[in-house]
Amino acid sequence: MSDERRLAVLRAIVEDYVETREPVGSKALVERHRLGVSSATIRNDMAALEDEGLITQPHTSAGRVPTDAGYRVFVDRLSTFKPMSLPEKQAIHGFLAGAVDLDDVVDRTVRLMASLTHQVAVMQYPSLTRSTVRHIELIPIAPQRLLVVVIAGTGRVEQRVLETESVLDDAVLGEIRARINAESAGLLLTDAATRLQDLPEQLPAEDRDLVRSIVRALDDALVEEREERVVLAGANNLARFGQDFPDSIGPVLDALEEHVVLLRLLGELSHDPNAVAVRIGSELQHEGLHGTSVVSSGYGSGQDVVAALGVLGPTRMDYPTTMATVRAVARYVSRALDG
């Protein structure tokens, strides 16, 4: 039996099952696909695929459906993604280009992915530990109260309010602001915080306590890393695929409410900004997600990944189109953040 023909049969079964949700038989394969062999040969190929655990027969005398392993082989053998049309690309660009800040970028992105894929869209906020410092601003909001604003290269903003022992002086704040930005701009936030530890000793004695307080505020900003956020959109899309889940969509919805589960998933899949990662069914460690697949990609600046985004849906998913959409959106988000 030809391995190439066997893979062609598997690909045809996956494509037909995704489109129709009906188990696929040998007669239908011959009629719909130009496989160049008889129904009897196709049946032999299907029997071999079943022996390998790539397809299964859900009912007696029924056609076959892909297993998780079959979907995995199908995805791994994809040579190209389904190309997006020019109008689709322009729609993505136009929709994200109108964002006014990071929160707006995230909100628009998940709504866009949910609309394009008809799945559940998930996006992680940029990680502080992977973000660079764009600017640190010191704003006096009262005679003895200071607002410390950290603006990351991704557009993420963190703010801390400090109570000071002495009345703030604008000229002194200007000098401290200049020194802090000279030491930290362009560095990873974690590296900037480390470098700034030595800054107080380089300044006049009367300014050191204030600078130490500012540096502690920057360290405190990193605590937010333990409370990373994810944003979801399109959970109602799961209702369209109710029959794809063995029991109900309840376990999936329960898992979606556990943001730590989603953060762990996206964290595992976000290391390569140029890759699209796919986890299928039983490959997902959370039992409530075993009937789903997750398609994700990292986003960030250049080769620096700061977080991930993706979609979650049933394993009976149009993988080529979904993978192309997730990759395209991730690239547009990276460009939007760079801008």
The segment with the largest mean pLDDT, out of 11-25, 35-49, 52-66, 290-304, is: 11-25
* Domain match, 28 and 115 both: no
Domain count, the chain: 3
Do 26 and 49 lie in one domain? The reply is yes
Q: Are residues 186 and 250 in the same domain?
A: no
Provide, rounded to the nearest whole percent, the portion of the chain with pLDDT above 70. Answer: 91
Answer yes or no: is pLDDT of 224 > 90. no
Do 244 and 326 reside in the same domain of the chain? yes
Question: Do 59 and 105 belong to one domain?
Answer: no
Residue 202 resides in a domain? yes
Tell me the whole-structure pTM to 2 decimals. Answer: 0.78
Q: Quick one: pLDDT at residue 272?
A: 63
Same domain, 306 and 279: yes
Instruction: For 120-131, write each residue's pLDDT tens digit.
Output: 999 988 877 777
Residue 166 covered by a domain: yes
**Tokens coding 279:** 């986890």
Task: Choose one of 203, 226, 249: the last residue of a domain.
Answer: 226
Residue 160 within a domain: yes
Same domain, 217 and 330: no
**Does residue 304 sit within a domain?**
yes
pLDDT at 222 over 70: no
- Please give the pLDDT value at position 339: 61
Sign of CA dihedral 230, 235, 237, 238: positive
Residue 12 lies in a domain: yes
Last residue of a domain, which of 76, 95, 113?
76
* Domain harbouring 117, CATH code: 3.30.450.40
Q: For residue 95, count CB atoms less than 10 angstroms from its CB and return exposed for 0-12, middle for 13-18, buried for 19 or more.
A: middle
Residue 210: CATH number of its domain: 3.30.390.60
Let me know whether 119 and 235 are in one domain. yes
Asked whether residue 113 falls in the same domain as residue 255, the answer is: yes
Whether 81 is covered by a domain: the verdict is: no
Final residue belonging to a domain, choices 13, 42, 76: 76
Q: Is residue 286 situated within a structural domain?
A: yes
Give pLDDT, residue 217: 83
- Residue 109 in any domain: the answer is yes
- Residues 234, 172 share a domain: no
181 and 40 in a common domain: no
Q: Count Cβ atoms below 10 Å from residue 83 Cβ, excluding itself.
A: 12
Residue 236: domain span? 86-126+228-338
Name the band, by pLDDT with cuts 50, 70 and 90, for residue 1: very low
Q: Is the pLDDT of residue 223 over 60?
A: no
* CATH number, domain containing residue 20: 1.10.10.10
Residue 102 pLDDT more than 60?
Answer: yes
pLDDT of residue 264 exceeding 80, the answer is: no
Q: Identify the residue with better confidence: 97 or 68.
A: 68
Are 233 and 323 members of one domain?
A: yes
Which of these, 88, 53, 89, lies nearest to 71 by C-alpha position? 53
Name the band, by pLDDT with cuts 50, 70 and 90, for residue 114. Answer: very high
